[in-house]
Amino acid sequence: MKQLLTKGIVLARTNYQEADRILTILTTDYGKLSVLAKGVRKSKSKMAGGVELFSVSEIGFMRGRGDLATMVSSRLIKHYGTIVQDINRTMLGYELIKLLNKVTEDEPGEDYFELLRITLESLDQAEIEVELIKLWFLAQLLKLAGHTPELYTNIARKPLERNETYAFSYDDMAFSENADGKFGSSHIKILRLAFGNHKPASLHKVQGAENIIRSCLDLTQNILPNHIRT
C-alpha cells in the first residue's frame, strides 16, 4: 500500500487504547484526515514530536479500508512555541482551531490550511494583539465562505466617505449613513484590511487600531452566525 506525504496541522487529538491517538489533521493536499497514530503517547515515540499542537508538520500516512488512515511518520516543520507562553494566546489558539474544525467539511481547500498557518504564525508574535488576530481570522473565514460585507459603497451604492459616520445593516451586509452611527473611516480601513489580502501584522501597523478593534470584532462576530453554522 502506498505511503502518502503531506503538510498538516493538528486540529484535534483523542486518546485511544493505552498508547495511541486518533488525530484530526488539516492538510494541504487531502483536506481533513482522521489518522491513527500508534504508540504516539509512549515516551520514546519517534512520531510524538511531529504531532504537537500549534505546529506545522510533514505527515506520512497510509489509507485504510474505512475513513481512518494510519500515520507512519511525522516530522516537525515549525512549532509556534511562543503561543503557549501566554494564556490568552493559548486559549484563542484552541478556540480558533476548534472553530475551524467545526465549520469545515472533510475536503476543505488549501486556503483553509493557510488561514490556520498564518493565524498560528501571528499568535506566535507577541506584539500583535489577540483581538486583532481574532478579527482577521473571522473575517478571512467569512471571505473564504463567500460572505464579505460591502466595504466600499453604502446601501445606496455611493462611495463611503471619510468624514461620515455609518451604521451597519446585517440584512444588506453594507453600511448606511447615520449621524449616530459608531463606524467611521478608521473602522472601515481596518475591516478592509481584515477582509483583504493582508496578514494580521498589516492591521497591527494601523495607527490607533487598538482603539477600534473591539467594535470591528463585534461587527464581524455578529455577521458570522448569519452565514456560517458555528
The 10s digit of each residue's pLDDT in 145-165 is 999 999 999 999 999 999 999
By the 10 Å C-beta count (0-12 exposed, 13-18 middle, 19+ buried), 150 is classed as: middle
Q: Coil, strand or helix: which one is 219?
A: helix
* Statement: residue 1 has pLDDT above 80: no
DSSP-derived secondary structure letter, 52: -
pLDDT band at 209 (very low <50, low <70, confident <90, very high): confident
| Number of residues in the chain | 230
Q: Any idea what DSSP says for residue 130?
A: H
pLDDT score for 100: 96
Q: HSE (CB half, 13 Å, CA atoms) of 47?
A: 21
Over residues 37-41, mean pLDDT: 91
Q: Could you tell me the pLDDT band of residue 31, with boundaries at 50, 70 and 90?
A: very high
Secondary structure class of 42 (helix, strand, coil): coil
**Greatest Cα-to-Cα distance within the chain, rounded to the nearest angstrom:** 67
Cα 38 to Cα 54: distance, rounded to the nearest angstrom: 21
Burial class of residue 100 in the structure, from the number of CB atoms within 10 Å of its CB (0-12 exposed, 13-18 middle, 19+ buried): buried
Section 46-69 average pLDDT: 90
Could you tell me the pTM of the whole model? 0.94
What does R_g of the chain's alpha carbons equal in angstroms?
A: 20
CB-count burial class (<10 Å; 0-12, 13-18, 19+) for 2? exposed
pLDDT beyond 90 at 182: yes
What DSSP state is assigned to residue 159? B
Alpha helices by DSSP H, 14-129: 87-103, 110-123
- For the segment 108-127, what is each residue's pLDDT rounded down to a tens digit? 889 999 999 999 999 999 99
Grid coordinates given for 226: 448569519
What is the pLDDT at residue 105? 82
140 Cβ contact partners less than 8 Å away, ≥ 6 residues apart: 115, 194, 195
